[in-house]
Amino acid sequence: MAEIIQRDGTWTFDGDTVRIVPGSDKRVSLLRKSLGEIAVPLRALAGITFEQGRKSGRLRLRLREGADPLTRVAGGKLDDGSDPYQLTVESDRTGVAEYVVDEVRNALLLDEVESGPTDRYLLPGPSLPITMGAGDGTVTFDGEQIRLEWNWKTEESKSSRGMTTLAIRDVDSVEWRPSAGMENGFLRFVVGKGNSPAPKYDPLSVELYGFRKDPLMALVAAAVVARMPHPNAAPAAVPDLTKTADGADVPPQPAASGDDHDALLRRLRELGELHQAGILTEEEFTTAKQAVLKRL
């Protein structure tokens, strides 16, 4: 077992998992403390490095693309202090850091771990339920519903609408951006393909002002993304409804008469169930639904 203990935290590698525990030092970021312990499986790693500086060094884990919802949401925009996959190493622990690097690299070689993208999340993301407040709002997510509540800093045109509630199945994507210079950041839940208003006025966005709690919104974003379809996952195959399970042709069904509303309504329910199960895409579902509605 390889282990390194620093004020920022403790990294332990047992041959299968890199376990990261945040330190208790007051300088450790709120994001790391809120995220808590992370268990990174070997198969989620693309590499590890140690960078030696003048006064201290830095251990860095490099995760495979698509393996971690937090890394996906952050897109490299987390500052070094908030990035849980970095560890500041004091100068007298350089040898220990290099030993950890060698152990992890050897395990990656021996297990022949691929370094390319993954088609599913190998880390679960932040635990639920999760509630974080920053900027002009507070976001709560329980695995199914996202709730946005506003505070005294919220633009009146947005807060006057009251609390916003959103089902995760309606969310197409999640965006998190930290503040940069004079530009405020935001956490946005995207629904549909239309242009979203500025975060200041968007009831599906929390505007961030560059304060120390801002990175916490990246945890909410990661928790939601972890429970959405993976972007690299292969699309589910649509079953051939003209064939039976053994491959035989299904006899053609007589067309429903203009008055046979029950049959058409049953077909709509079937299409809805296939869509909710992820078998039909949004486009396929819309096309099929419109065809049935025209016959009603």
Tell me the average pLDDT of the chain: 88
> How does residue 276 score in pLDDT terms, banded at 50, 70 and 90?
confident
Tell whether omega for the bond before 129 is within 30 degrees of 0, i.e. cis: yes
More confident residue, 54 or 278: 54
pLDDT at 256: 44
Given this model, what pLDDT does residue 258 score? 46
Q: How far apart are CA 6 and CA 77, in angstroms?
A: 24
Calculate the alpha carbon distances from 261 to 256, 264, 294 in Å: 8, 5, 12
Which of 151, 180, 181, 144 lies closest to 165 in space, CA to CA?
144
Q: What is the mean pLDDT of residues 97-101?
A: 96
79 vs 186: CA distance, rounded Å? 16
Q: How confident is the model at residue 275 (pLDDT cuts 50, 70, 90)?
A: low
Residue tagged 């006057």 (tokens): 160
Better-scored residue on pLDDT, 247 or 151:
151
Considering the chain, what percentage of its residues have pLDDT values greater than 70?
87
| pLDDT at residue 250, rounded to an integer | 53
Mean pLDDT value of segment 13-32: 94
pLDDT in tens, 133-153: 999 999 999 999 999 999 999
Q: For 106-110, 179-183, 194-198, which range has the lowest pLDDT when averaged over its residues?
A: 194-198
How many other β-carbons are positioned within 10 Å of the β-carbon of residue 50? 19
* pLDDT for position 259: 44
What number of other Cβ atoms are within 10 A of residue 43's Cβ? 15
Q: pTM for this one? A: 0.77
22 close to 86: Cβ distance less than 8 angstroms: no
